[in-house]
Amino acid sequence: MQLTRHADYALRVLLYLGKQNDRICSIRNISEAYGISHNHLMKVVHELGKEGYLISARGRYGGIRLSQPAAEINIGDVLRKMEKDFQLVDCGSCRIGGGCGLQGVINEALAAFLGVFQRYSLQDILDQSPQIEKMLQLMTTSETGGAA
């Protein structure tokens, strides 16, 4: 099982913002911290905003931040909203699709996979990774021109 890049980036955005203590951040900061495409990240941030995970502010001092405490953001829920298709196998093109008995096993495996994520909040993940700030080299004073 592999998550799409969209879901992966969504989790990365949430992790980054979760360490910011309500500070407004730019998509560019996140893009640079992870070394990922700014344009692709804009689409992910837009989707996270539509789903209610982020608050965005426009303008010169605009940016994004979490819309709720990290403890209230469930990782399983995020993945269910960010992954548009969890179809592991295309049974529709198979000659024995629907009659082989595999679909039930596949559905059970998917439920178990998502069930693990459902047990964790964003805060749980942040608590398990205290070194994330150093790893991402976050610029806590980038808006004021200082260095971290």
Q: pTM score > 0.75 for this model?
A: yes
Instruction: Express each pLDDT in 85-121 by its tens digit.
Output: 877 777 778 888 777 888 888 889 999 999 999 999 9
In the predicted model, is pLDDT for residue 139 greater than 60? no
In the predicted model, is pLDDT for residue 145 greater than 70? no
Beta strand segments in 11-67, E: 54-57, 63-66
Sign for the CA dihedral angle at 49, 34, 6, 113 comes to negative
CATH 1.10.10.10 is the classification of domain 5-87+120-144: yes
Q: Which of 118, 25, 112 lies closest to 66, judged by CA? A: 25
Q: Judge contact between 118 and 75, C-beta under 8 A.
A: yes
Instruction: Express each pLDDT in 10-56 by its tens digit.
Output: 999 999 999 998 899 999 999 999 999 999 999 999 999 999 999 99
